[in-house]
Amino acid sequence: MPELPEVETVRRGLAPAMEGRVIERAQVNRPDLRFPLPDRMAERLAGARVTGLRRRSKYILVDLSTDETLLIHLGMSGRMLISGLQQGRFHHDHPAPAKHDHVVLDLEGGARITFNDARRFGAMDLMATADAEDHWLLRDIGPEPLGNAFDQDYLAARLAGRGAPIKSALLDQGLVAGLGNIYVCEVLFRAGIDPRRKAGRLSKARAQGLVPIIRDVLAEAIEAGGSSLRDYRQADGELGYFQHAFRVYGREGEPCQRQGCTGTVARVVQSGRSTFYCPRCQR
């Protein structure tokens, strides 16, 4: 499932094509994705101007001039594809309709945004913009890891006394928004922390030290366009490149990349997910 860097990359790719433009036509090709699509979705979108695109955790929020916001979740295989834009000397024509093109938005100026989702684990909904933070998918999400509310004191206080492994704690969306399996593995490697260690047993200093590492890993991943594993593509169809910078994720049996360490990357399963780490240098 795309994590924060991938969703932020998609948001940034969509913004130039959508912000300030009117949705001239909306085509909704099925009644549901992971959840039922909102009533009269095509009718409510058509004629609305896109006033801005935001991201909350792993969700893209498209604010409209109708005082409604379109919520988009990519799920496991969802893609937001752009066509019809002029980029330099090249014009990207609209592709032929595909089997899993579930929602298609035609915008003034000729751009088309297509939501394609083969597995249909994605989601879309419409809600009042003023009440967006109270939407049932968003209301219990913790602070953004790149925002001011996620600071060293906050994280140390939230981890104190927790009996869950630190890997599981950082995946808790109620504690911090948007972190997923890939980036938590990479964060804990850089921090030298064993992913199996109980969160509450970290010293305050080590807990606080996670904050800048989390921000660095996410910033680097966003700069690289996210990580392309299986289905993920950027909005222009390009792959992300951060997977080439993985130090532990997916590297079971390979030598540890930390200078001076002679360990080997191992894999364990935590809460049904693969965790990659170096048993020698992560303590």
> Which residues belong to the active site?
2-3, 58, 273
Closest of 94, 97, 76 to residue 84, by C-alpha: 94
State how far the Cα of 273 lies from the Cα of 263, in Å rounded to an integer.
22
Burial bucket for residue 205 (CB in 10 Å: 0-12, 13-18, 19+):
exposed
Residue 248 DSSP label? S
Length of the chain: 283
Lookup: tokens for 107: 């915008």
b (16+ CB within 10 A) / e for 43-61: ebbbebbbbebebbbbbbb
DSSP label of 240: P
How crowded is the C-beta side of 219, counted as CA atoms within 13 Å? Answer: 9
